[in-house]
Amino acid sequence: MRLLFLAVLRRHTGNAITAQRVRDHLEAAGHVCILKDALDFESPSEISNFIKAESLEAAMALHLYRGGRLLPGHGIPFGIIFGGTDLNEDVKHGEKNKVMGRVLEEARFAVAFTESMKETAQRQWPHAKDKIYVQSQGIATVPNTTFNWNTFLQRSEINQSADNLHVFLLICGLRQVKDPLYLVDAFSEWHQEEPNIYMVIVGPEVDPVFTREVKAKVKRTAGVRLIGEMAQEDLHAVMKNCFAVVNSSVSEGMSAAILEAMDLEVPVLARNIPGNAAVVKHEVTGLLFSDPQGSEENHDPQSKRQHICQSSETSLSTSPISELS
């Protein structure tokens, strides 16, 4: 089957990585999957022309609004995968909500990564409740075996021996919903008490205005560093070497960074929001915090890491989506 797969493909973002993994899975199942950036199409007519030119038989979209809104009316079956933005942000905007409801009327199926996402979608669009399914996100980690941790520390301007260093890694695109500044002051205070504690933020510059705010804050804050986007294999190597992975997002669908950390057996500290709580069971597969001080109290460097390492082993599915039919 020849499939069109629409997603927003900003480089080195979670959405782009997820879309690439789904595409790879579909192609491994024997389909031809053409992955395109939804932002490259300005209207449904452009999609229609592309479908005809490529002789496409079916379609999928990652994000009900950003990708799915382009798919109805073309005479081919399609399904959608909910993103966190759909259910945590776009649903609050009246016109977007209506558009998403219309897309679901025509969609063959809709995939939610968690039960809580499914329940939210069913409440919003009860007419589509029988076509919404849960399929947890699949991940794969491939750390770069030649990656030099000491070089990374130098690049991050961390001039300490790696032997007794505790680097907390926050991975996110720089936009407000990821709230990367939420923990900055708390980690800076912790660093001043224990100079071997650092927080390093890694990710692409998604929102230019907000990026300037983040850079300015980090520049004047001790113990916090900001690194730009990295190749996935290098990022996995950084995760494997860090002390713990942190997530401070205001909302999430299902954080790929959290899943990847678990796969690499790296401790996880995550803000206590529904998307994170669906993945992290407090003091079993990670630690949840509700305020910046909680992230410090939860994670005493000498005792908590061993506890979480022992309980964070998890088995993750690697088959995200079954075939369209």
Asked if residue 90 lies in contact with residue 100, where contact means CB atoms within 8 angstroms, the answer is yes
**Burial class for 126, CB neighbours closer than 10 Å (0-12, 13-18, 19+):** exposed
Query: What Å distances lie between residue 73 and 48, 60, 284, CA to CA?
Result: 9, 14, 46
User: What is the predicted pLDDT for the residue at 294?
Assistant: 64
Structural domain boundaries, residue 19: 2-134
Tell me: do 168 and 121 sit in the same domain. Answer: no
Helices and strands, number each (H, E), in the chain = 13, 12
Tell me: do 220 and 271 sit in the same domain. Answer: yes
The answer to the question of residue 117 being in a domain is yes
Tell me: do 184 and 267 sit in the same domain. Answer: yes
Tell me: do 162 and 275 sit in the same domain. Answer: yes
pLDDT digits (tens, 9 = 90+) for 107-118: 999 999 999 899
Tell me: do 228 and 254 sit in the same domain. Answer: yes
Nearest partner of 226 among 156, 287, 290, judged by Cα = 156
User: What is the predicted pLDDT for the residue at 11?
Assistant: 80
Tell me: do 156 and 112 sit in the same domain. Answer: no
Tell me: do 187 and 306 sit in the same domain. Answer: yes
User: What is the predicted pLDDT for the residue at 30?
Assistant: 96
The enclosing H or E element of 222 equals none
User: What is the predicted pLDDT for the residue at 312?
Assistant: 37
Which CATH number do you get for residue 154? 3.40.50.2000
Q: What are phi and psi of 18, to 5 degrees?
A: -60, -45
User: What is the predicted pLDDT for the residue at 158?
Assistant: 95
Q: What are phi and psi of 272, to 5 degrees?
A: -80, 80
pLDDT digits (tens, 9 = 90+) for 2-58: 999 999 998 878 888 899 999 999 999 999 999 999 999 988 899 999 999 999 999
Tell me: do 302 and 221 sit in the same domain. Answer: yes
The answer to the question of residue 316 being in a domain is no
207 three-state secondary structure: coil
The low-confidence residues of the chain, meaning pLDDT below 70, are: 294-325
Asked if residue 225 lies in contact with residue 139, where contact means CB atoms within 8 angstroms, the answer is no
Tell me: do 108 and 189 sit in the same domain. Answer: no
Residue where one domain finishes, among candidates 134, 164, 186: 134
86/10 Cα distance (integer angstroms):
17
User: What is the predicted pLDDT for the residue at 303?
Assistant: 52
The answer to the question of residue 143 being in a domain is no
Residue where one domain finishes, among candidates 134, 158, 190: 134
Residue where one domain finishes, among candidates 99, 134, 169: 134
User: What is the predicted pLDDT for the residue at 319?
Assistant: 24
319/267 Cα distance (integer angstroms):
24
Torsion angle of C-alpha atoms 158, 163, 168, 173, degrees rounded to 10: 60
